[in-house]
Amino acid sequence: MKTTMKTVVIEVKAANESFDDMRQALKSGKPDKQARISFVSFDLLWKVLTPNRWHLIETLTGAGPIGVRELARRVKRDVRAVHADAQALALAGLIDKAADGKLHFPYDAVHVDFKLHKAA
């Protein structure tokens, strides 16, 4: 039995471009099958996805639901600090937090996609 890898694209895209993509998908009746997490600016991406939070995402990728204590053990960090970072990721919509408190990132892979342009 073949299993498919569930990948999410993390991108920097202006809000109006994201809305245009959604409108186009609704108009065509063919939604984008690719899961996406979009940030409206590089500043926001770097504010939300600090190096420590990237490490949490990396550890949660493909791991299934994990409790905060277990996640802290795996990343070799203080439980309180991991809890605070996990809360920030959950509030930003990057990870899910179940009723039992376990954290889940429902993807097996992450593709980061952005383009830098010449400064004006």
Residue 6 Cα distances to 3, 19, 33, 87, 97, angstroms? 9, 23, 10, 23, 19
Rounded to the nearest 10 degrees, the angle between the axes of helix 51-60 and helix 79-91 is 80
CATH architecture of 49-107: Orthogonal Bundle (1.10)
Q: Which two tokens stand for residue 2?
A: 């073949």
Domain definitions of the chain by residue range:
7-46, 49-107
Stretch 64-78: mean pLDDT: 97
Q: What is the pLDDT of residue 118?
A: 76
pLDDT tens digits for 6-34? 999 999 887 677 666 666 766 777 666 78
